[in-house]
Structure 1
Amino acid sequence: MKGKTITVENLVRKFSMKVLAGENLEEKMIVQSRVHRPGLEFVGHFDFFPTERIQVLGRKEINYLHKLSKGERKLRIGNIVNYHPPCFIVTAGVEGLTYLTQYCIEEGIPLLATNKPETTTEFITKLDAYLVKQLAPEMTIHGVCMNVSGIGILLRGHSGVGKSELAHTLIGKGHRLVADDVVVLKKLSQQTLLGTHDEKTKEFLALRSVGLLNVVRLYGRKAFQEETRIALDIKLTKWQKDDLNNELEHEPEYTEYMGIKIPTIEIQLQPGRDVAGLIEAAANNWYLRQQGYSAAEEFMSRIEGEFSDSGQ
């Protein structure tokens, strides 16, 4: 698992922003997800000032600064720039901001401005989502990641067990490939694990005896998805007749990734067995359980009902 950083230059390119002040943007690092609007700080409250976050100035903040006297404005802005946040972003237009530009130049703090006609809230929502994904702790695993009926699934197993071939079968059934061979997992929150590719293998599926396939070129855009929230972890193992679990419902198992527990099931492989169909069933059954339904519980209630009726 590793944390990540991005540069202010990455931010400028991603959101097509104007650079009003700042040099060597590729050296200015952003390490904190989520942004901050320094309203309280402008009036002197610094008890909880998140200094490592991007500072966003919307119409309220800019109008407040414009109304201050020159000396008061210098004091208010100076109190914030002294903490050297990674950058300031203005979303309310840049008219009359020469004083802010000058302060940022003097302190070496990048000052950026948005180009698109959107509200500050809309921009912050997009920026927060981008930062959370880019700065999320991540790890890589060997396997395949699929989106099956809208549900993110990891397929794991020893090399050569047939993970990629199974993914190809699922694509033929209308499901989507996310990543083959190298799966990147990102921890977005304490409950959310995102699966994606590592860019190099994007859209590629490697099949033994056939070679490398580009699933988008072969089957269209519907065959591929950039990322998916992981809900199920499926282990593909060799057939062991005596190990098959035939209970109505067994104790759930989990695999932990970066502190997040993912429900895990084992599917044994055997020639002629419809493993793709079993994965579809597992995905749909997981969805029903999220809605509060259990087939095993309904079955047992029917049996108990029969015994109750026969005892009358």
Structure 2
Amino acid sequence: MNERLLSVGRLLEYGRQRLGFKVEEAGAASRNILTSSSVLICNDAGACSTKNASAPAVLVFAGDRVSSDPGSGERFFRVLQDHSPSVVVYRPSDRAVSRKRLRQSAAAAGFTLVSTSRDPCYAGSRVAAFLREWIDSAITVRGTLVDVSGAGVVIRGGSGSGKSSCALELMFRGHRLVADDVMEIHRDPDRKLRGSAHPAIKNLMEIRGIGIVNARRLFGSKAVAEESSVDAVFDLHSYRDTTAAEGNEPAVSMLLGVSLPRYSLRIVTTATAGRAIEELVIRKNRKTGDHSVPGYGMKTS
């Protein structure tokens, strides 16, 4: 399982929605990508707990509302100097740390300073769980991902099976390419799957007879999408392939513990496969309950 890169902005969005985070200083680190899922929580006595104290993504000061011991604040600032967190969380009612000094430190060091009225230990534990879900819950999948009318369709198949050509047909029909050949899929805390292109091949696709092209430059920005949901899997097979099981009803594909409908298509042409995928997605969007794959001169299995 590969690491999923998570932006500080996405973490702050979660914090605002769930923990009442308020950004007090948006330093340069607000544009950072988090690659560590560790959260360092420091209590009033200066003790810290973390899985990886050498490189915490988030530093939390869990002070005492009553105590105003300046020593605990000094200990916290020493911890802050010893590490380079992207985000620092504190509770304004904890009098042991100076709000002014925290803001000055944020401006100087470039980290994002966040305040919360929630219990800092609770906030730290929720942030840690969120980071683990996002950063550690990801996989890299071979295949092509297309946003078809708002539904993310994963198209898989062997080399030369027509994945890219099928995606191209869908693009001609007004849908958007997300990733060609390799995609990164992650599961968010609500157990929804999102997919995006591997950074090395973002906007790139291979067109048979032409080679690798930049889809954004060739077809325009409306022909591509940064990411999409992941809602269904289509496995492409040659119409001569008799090994695939027959039947129109979808099977189930498991990705990161989430079940997705999986359709096996024995195709005659990639154009017909593209039209069939489009119609199936439209049927599902209309909630007709008809999940059978349209024919279009191709065989289904």
AA aligned opposite 2:279? A
Indicate the residue corresponding to 1:154 in structure 2.
154
Which residues in structure 2 correspond to 1:239-254 (within 5 Å)? 239-240=239-240, 250=249, 252-254=250-252
Indicate the residue corresponding to 1:74 in structure 2.
71
Indicate the residue corresponding to 1:299 in structure 2.
none
Indicate the residue corresponding to 1:30 in structure 2.
36
AA aligned opposite 1:277? R
Instruction: Check whether the contact 1:190–1:260 (CA below 8 A) recurs between aligned residues.
Output: no
- Cα deviations by residue, 1:258-310 (Å, 9 ceiling, x for unpaired): 3222210011111486211100012123334xx5x4248xxxxxxxxxxxxxx
Q: 2:276 aligns with which of 275, 278, 297?
A: 278
User: Residue 161 of structure 1 aligns to a residue in which SS?
Assistant: coil
Q: Flag the structure with higher helix content.
A: 1
AA aligned opposite 2:145? C
Instruction: Check whether the contact 2:134–2:188 (CA below 8 A) recurs between aligned residues.
Output: no
Gaps in structure 2 of 5+ consecutive residues: 12-24, 118-122, 292-301
User: Residue 274 of structure 2 aligns to a residue in which SS?
Assistant: helix
Indicate the residue corresponding to 2:289 in structure 1.
294
Which residues in structure 2 correspond to 1:166-185 (within 5 Å)? 166-185=166-185
Instruction: Check whether the contact 1:144–1:182 (CA below 8 A) recurs between aligned residues.
Output: yes
Q: Please provide the CA RMSD for this pair.
A: 4.9
Q: 2:260 aligns with which of 252, 259, 262?
A: 262
Indicate the residue corresponding to 2:138 in structure 1.
138
User: Residue 30 of structure 1 aligns to a residue in which SS?
Assistant: coil
- Structure 2 CA distance for aligned equivalents of residues 18 and 180 of structure 1: 32
Using a 3 Å threshold, how does the CA distance of structure 1 residues 171 and 230 change in structure 2: closer, same or farther?
Answer: same
Instruction: Check whether the contact 2:148–2:176 (CA below 8 A) recurs between aligned residues.
Output: yes
Indicate the residue corresponding to 1:17 in structure 2.
27
TM-score, L = length of structure 2: 0.62
Compare 252-261 and 205-214 and name the one that shifted more: 252-261
- Structure 2 CA distance for aligned equivalents of residues 142 and 165 of structure 1: 15
TM-score, L = length of structure 1: 0.60
Indicate the residue corresponding to 1:224 in structure 2.
224
- Structure 2 CA distance for aligned equivalents of residues 278 and 88 of structure 1: 50
- Structure 2 CA distance for aligned equivalents of residues 246 and 49 of structure 1: 52
- Cα deviations by residue, 1:101-139 (Å, 9 ceiling, x for unpaired): 99x9xxxxx78345xxx9869xx9xx99x9578614322
Instruction: Give the CA deviation at 1:18.
Output: 5.7
AA aligned opposite 1:233? V
User: Residue 191 of structure 1 aligns to a residue in which SS?
Assistant: coil
Identity between Structure 1 and Structure 2 (%): 21
- Structure 1 CA distance for aligned equivalents of residues 202 and 167 of structure 2: 14
AA aligned opposite 1:182? V
AA aligned opposite 2:289? S
Using a 3 Å threshold, how does the CA distance of structure 1 residues 209 and 91 change in structure 2: closer, same or farther?
Answer: farther
Using a 3 Å threshold, how does the CA distance of structure 1 residues 139 and 241 change in structure 2: closer, same or farther?
Answer: closer
- Structure 2 CA distance for aligned equivalents of residues 204 and 143 of structure 1: 13
